[in-house]
């Protein structure tokens, strides 16, 4: 499982006086479970974009183990992300007209990596997530079930890192708790690094490490406090 090392990572836009993200240094150990918190506009989403390779930092380096993804071309970052990152978002981004199983398999199919083992894993993950009908069209699922499908999709290729952006924000507390448990258990089971951006206090309380952001930088890190 890869560990993250950010080195002077900065994202700025022309016309803005201050960078939207400015992190001199940040390390996240492989297999750790981290909550990223902070008010909106504090740079959480930008951080997620940078560490998942969805966006390139203006400056600095983003190492996952030995690989600086800031140096990769767009196509290679896509490939790297597909193989190493499992993303769960607040909006489930499921595609209507396809079944739960087809949604789980869609990115792998588009990347042409969906073999028999992947298909078997997709079915197993759906069943693990508590969905009994993998052939059900996603538009007929409840919101809680939709997020479970999205979680199964994120874990399909057995990624080393799971990044969840407000995974419980659009769910009721009950379903939020189910999803939180699912993510924590699956991450623990596979040994994947889990990074969760969230406002959900109950979810935050279940994550061992907390990073608080404000004005584009890290203001508080429970890890740093533990190791003075």
Partner 1 sequence: MIRFVLADLKRLWAGSVVIVLLVALAVALGVGVSLQERALRLGSARAAEKFDVIVGAPGSETQLVLSAVFLQPAALPLMPGEVLAELNDDPRVEWAAPVGFGDFHAGYPIIGTTTTLIEATAGGFSQGGMFRTEGEAVVGSAVPLQPGEAVVPTHGQVEQGGHEHEGIRYRVSGRLNPTGTPWDRAILVPIQAVWHVHGMGLEAGHDHDHDHAGHDTAHEDEEAHEHHGMDADAPLDEDWHRGALPGLPAILIKPKTIADAYRLRQDYRADGRTLAVFPGEVLTGLYATLGDARQVLAVIAAGTQLLVAAALLMVTVIHVGQRRRQIGALRAFGAPRAAVFGIVWLELSVLVGLGILLGYGGGYLAASLLSRAFAMQRGFSLPVGFTPEDGAMLAILAAVAALLAALPAWLAYRQSPAAALRN
Considering the complex, state which of residue 83 and residue 224 has its C-beta at the smaller distance from partner 1: 83
Contact 38, 212 (CB under 8 A): yes
155 to each of 25, 151, 173, how far by Cα in Å?
A: 28, 6, 23
Please, what is the minimum distance in Å from the beta carbon of residue 170 to partner 1?
11
Query: Which residues of this chain interact with partner 1, rule CB under 8 A?
Result: 45, 48-49, 52, 54-55, 74-75, 78-79, 81-83, 85, 87, 89-91, 93, 95-98, 102, 106-111, 153-154, 157, 165
- Cα separation, 139 vs 208, in Å, equals 35
Contact 151, 175 (CB under 8 A): no
Please, what is the minimum distance in Å from the beta carbon of residue 62 to partner 1?
14
Considering the complex, state which of residue 10 and residue 27 has its C-beta at the smaller distance from partner 1: 10
Please, what is the minimum distance in Å from the beta carbon of residue 82 to partner 1?
3
Please, what is the minimum distance in Å from the beta carbon of residue 111 to partner 1?
5
Please, what is the minimum distance in Å from the beta carbon of residue 10 to partner 1?
16
Considering the complex, state which of residue 91 and residue 115 has its C-beta at the smaller distance from partner 1: 91
Contact 176, 200 (CB under 8 A): yes
26 to each of 49, 147, 179, 208, how far by Cα in Å?
A: 15, 29, 27, 16
Considering the complex, state which of residue 33 and residue 103 has its C-beta at the smaller distance from partner 1: 103
User: Could you tell me which residues come within 8 angstroms of residue 74 by beta carbon, excluding any fewer than 6 positions away?
Assistant: none
CA angle at 203 for the pair 198 and 209, rounded to the nearest 5°: 80
Q: Which two tokens stand for residue 201?
A: 């206090």
Please, what is the minimum distance in Å from the beta carbon of residue 146 to partner 1?
13
Considering the complex, state which of residue 113 and residue 228 has its C-beta at the smaller distance from partner 1: 113
Considering the complex, state which of residue 61 and residue 79 has its C-beta at the smaller distance from partner 1: 79
- Cα separation, 54 vs 51, in Å, equals 8
């Amino acid at each position: 499982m890869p560990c993250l090392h950010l080195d002077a990572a900065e994202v700025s836009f022309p016309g803005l006086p201050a960078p939207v993200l400015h992190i001199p240094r940040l390390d996240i150990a492989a297999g750790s479970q981290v909550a990223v918190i902070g008010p909106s506009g504090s740079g959480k989403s930008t951080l997620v974009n940078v560490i998942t390779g969805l966006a390139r930092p203006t400056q600095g380096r983003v190492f996952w183990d030995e690989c600086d993804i800031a140096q990769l071309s767009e196509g290679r970052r896509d490939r790297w992300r597909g193989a190493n990152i499992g993303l769960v978002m607040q909006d489930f981004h499921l595609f209507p007209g396809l079944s739960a199983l087809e949604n789980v398999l869609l990115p792998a199919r588009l990347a042409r990596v969906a073999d028999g083992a992947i298909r078997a894993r997709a079915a197993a993950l759906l069943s693990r997530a508590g969905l009994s009908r993998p052939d059900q069209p996603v538009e007929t699922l409840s919101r809680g079930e939709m997020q479970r499908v999205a979680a199964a999709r994120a874990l399909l290729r057995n990624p080393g890192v799971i990044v969840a952006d407000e995974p419980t924000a659009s769910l009721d507390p009950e379903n939020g708790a189910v999803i939180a448990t699912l993510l924590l258990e699956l991450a623990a089971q596979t040994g994947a690094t889990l990074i969760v951006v969230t406002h959900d206090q109950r979810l935050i309380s279940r994550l061992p490490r907390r990073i608080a952001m404000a004005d584009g930088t890290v203001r508080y890190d429970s890890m740093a406090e533990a190791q003075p």
